[in-house]
Amino acid sequence: MLITHLIGKRFKDKPAEASFISHSILLRGGYIRQVSNGIYSLLPLGLRVIRKIENIIREEMVKVGGQEVLMPVVLPRELWDESGRYDSIGSELLRFKDRTAHDMVLAMTHEEGVVHLSRNEVNSYKDYPFMLFQIQTKFRDEPRSRGGLIRVREFTMKDAYSFHNTDNDLQNYYDKCAEAYSKIFSRAGLPQVAKVESDSGMMGGRVAHEYMLLVDSGEDTVVKCDSCDYVSNLEVATSKREKKSEEPLPLQLVHTPEKKTIEEVSDFLKVPKSKLAKVVIYEGDSNAVPVIAVIRGDLAVNESKISKLMGVAPIAATEKTIQTIGTVAGFASAMNVSNCRIIIDYSVIDSSNLVCGGNKTDYHYLNFNAERDVPVFETADIATVTENSMCPKCSGILQFKRGIEVGNIFQLGTKYTEKMGMRYLDSEGQSKTPIMGCYGIGVGRLMASIIEASHDDYGPIWPSSVAPFSVHIITIGLSDKQLEEFSDPVYESLKSEKIEVLYDNRDERAGAKFADADLIGAPLKLIFGGKNFESKMVEWKRRDGKDKGLCKVSEIMDILKSI
């Protein structure tokens, strides 16, 4: 392609609205243009990269037995009512009425759509296992879209859904898809992506992993051991807690006037925060009893873990609710309360003689021991991991890294198939519910993430597998006749070899041409003219800066193949 035919202006200055490197480069390079908050158009350069990423994904999904389908973006409310998500998901799900006043949604994911499709097509155990995938538009009314394509409202996703007869079959296929994901990211130029334990969130299910690109610009916190392979999302990360057992002492009620917070009580009683039992009280839905979460005072409650235990998003309890269970805000404990569910973190179980609330204003108890003083409770890990704590797998130290989520996989179980009535007959003619897995990759986010991982001050350094063009020809100071004799034949020859080549033969200063070339990021630049013209040599440069040199026209193909 001639660069004069390429639609999409390039510019030098960093856009004020761009907080991510990828956002700035994609705007400056003429890859994307914003239409509205979190909604972008793709220009030809951007779409060329996107299509190559999609083809990599498609090839690897087919290799693991995936069959490609295409489901509608607009779905009727009834399907989301069947799964229960029409009411359980908040305003992120865009709801609207069609011209007949029928309730519809713009799908942010397609579990409902694929179960609807599959339950009408597959009814025998002989058809299992199978996997359907699509590369389709999604819409999530994201309240905080930012970072260009990193967090958007409208996006393209590869979403895949597998169906199985047994948990073992699902696990085997889950592992196979995990391996396919590693291949996808490696082929797209991101071999450093980490598979991370994660929370299943609104998707539900029993097991979930995210694929995190570990970069300083990432918006998610990844917990990584400095000694072993343990890697986890902060939402589900665990750590070893040091046991601090002592001989239990008798409870003692002490006066703590106007001392409500952990810091205030710690300072007043001259005890470390680790010797306090912190109480946080939550409400769930209208049918659930309040939940008292008890954790060591130097730790924080992880609300993702609490949410999973409660089955709903936790809400801080009102003062009225706190009073109804028999305690007082700011001085609450898990002792002598009623009509509530008590969940105590392991950090409290492994500690002795803690300070806790006295269940009346201005008083606390000394020497609280959970197993002695609370007759009925649940024990669970509800703590948010802190940096430099001990790894749960080894004696290493946990470190916090920044990451961008570039993919996720879930073992959904029967969450959707059960609710939506998908059944099949097993070998004995018995009706059974299939087990599901799902596997997603945001295509636009992956393109932006490649830039976050691979760029310099001048633009993207595209891997050859996804670069919009393989070769960028630049001419410097050549007349029309010289172009016709020297660079034009090379351009035509490369095109005839099916090589994607961009040709910049404009009568423009060299600096502007090189700046454009850096923003476009073809792996190989060929420079015709300048001081090398008389000797009929061509200057070549790798975009990644690893190599450069001079060659004859006849040697260009050899250099291209080596790159």
Residue that the structure tokens 């470190």 belong to:
399
Collect all residues with Cβ–Cβ distance below 8 Å to 252 and sequence separation of at least 6.
365, 366, 367
Find the mean pLDDT for residues 481-502.
93
Q: Find out whether the peptide bond into 129 is cis, omega within 30 degrees of 0.
A: yes
Separation CA 8–CA 123 (nearest Å): 50
Where would I find the beta strands (DSSP E) of 73-184?
Answer: 74-76, 94-97, 103-106, 130-139, 154-164
Helices 167-187, 44-63: crossing angle, 10 deg rounding: 140
Q: For residue 463, how many other CB atoms are within 10 A of its CB?
A: 20
Separation CA 497–CA 482 (nearest Å): 23
The DSSP result for 243-292, as a single string, is -B-------EEEE-TT--SHHHHHHHHT--GGGBEEEEEEE-STTSPPEE
* H or E stretch covering 209: strand 207-214
Q: For residue 398, how many other CB atoms are within 10 A of its CB?
A: 24
Strand partners, 105: 75, 95
User: 200: pLDDT confidence band, cut at 50, 70 and 90?
Assistant: low
Average pLDDT, the chain: 93
Helices 443-453, 21-28: crossing angle, 10 deg rounding: 100
User: What percentage of the chain reaches a pLDDT higher than 90?
Assistant: 80
For residues 445 and 463, is the Cβ–Cβ distance under 8 A?
A: no
pLDDT at 203 over 70: no
Find the mean pLDDT for residues 485-492.
92
Q: What is the pLDDT of residues 95-107, one digit of tens each?
A: 999 999 999 999 9
> Which of 240, 209, 274, 214 is CA-nearest to residue 400?
214
User: CA separation (Å) from 359 to 268, 328, 458?
Assistant: 18, 5, 62
pLDDT at 284 over 80: no
Q: What is the pLDDT of residues 296-331, one digit of tens each?
A: 999 999 998 998 888 888 889 999 999 999 999 999
Find the mean pLDDT for residues 3-14.
94
Note the pLDDT of residue 208: 87
DSSP 484: I
Q: What is the pLDDT of residues 319-362, one digit of tens each?
A: 999 999 999 999 999 999 999 999 999 999 999 999 999 999 99
Return the structure tokens found at 211: 């694929």
Note the pLDDT of residue 205: 57
User: What percentage of the chain reaches a pLDDT higher than 70?
Assistant: 98
Helices 443-453, 44-63: crossing angle, 10 deg rounding: 110
Superfamily (CATH) of domain 252-380 = YbaK/aminoacyl-tRNA synthetase-associated domain (3.90.960.10)
Whole-structure pTM value: 0.86
Return the structure tokens found at 522: 């073809």
Question: In CATH, what class is 471-562?
Answer: alpha beta
* Distance between start and end Cα atoms, the chain: 21
Q: What percent of the chain is helix, strand and coil (3-state, nearest 5)?
A: 30, 30, 40
Q: Find out whether the peptide bond into 191 is cis, omega within 30 degrees of 0.
A: no
Judged by average pLDDT, the poorest of 48-52, 217-221, 297-301, 542-546 is 217-221
Query: How far, in whole angstroms, is CA 245 from its chain's centroid?
Result: 40
Residue that the structure tokens 């050549």 belong to:
478
Separation CA 448–CA 152 (nearest Å): 12
Note the pLDDT of residue 544: 92
Q: What is the pLDDT of residues 519-534, one digit of tens each?
A: 999 999 999 987 877 7
Pairing verdict, β 538-542 and 32-36 = unpaired
Q: What is the pLDDT of residues 247-264, one digit of tens each?
A: 999 999 999 999 999 999
Separation CA 391–CA 58 (nearest Å): 37
User: CA separation (Å) from 311 to 81, 288, 376, 411, 532?
Assistant: 18, 10, 20, 17, 70
Question: In CATH, what class is 54-237+402-452?
Answer: alpha beta
Question: Over the Cα atoms of the chain, what is R_g?
Answer: 30
Return the structure tokens found at 527: 């420079």
Separation CA 210–CA 195 (nearest Å): 6
- Domain segments of the chain: what residues? 54-237+402-452, 252-380, 471-562
Note the pLDDT of residue 94: 96
For residues 359 and 327, is the Cβ–Cβ distance under 8 A?
A: yes
Note the pLDDT of residue 201: 58
Note the pLDDT of residue 127: 95
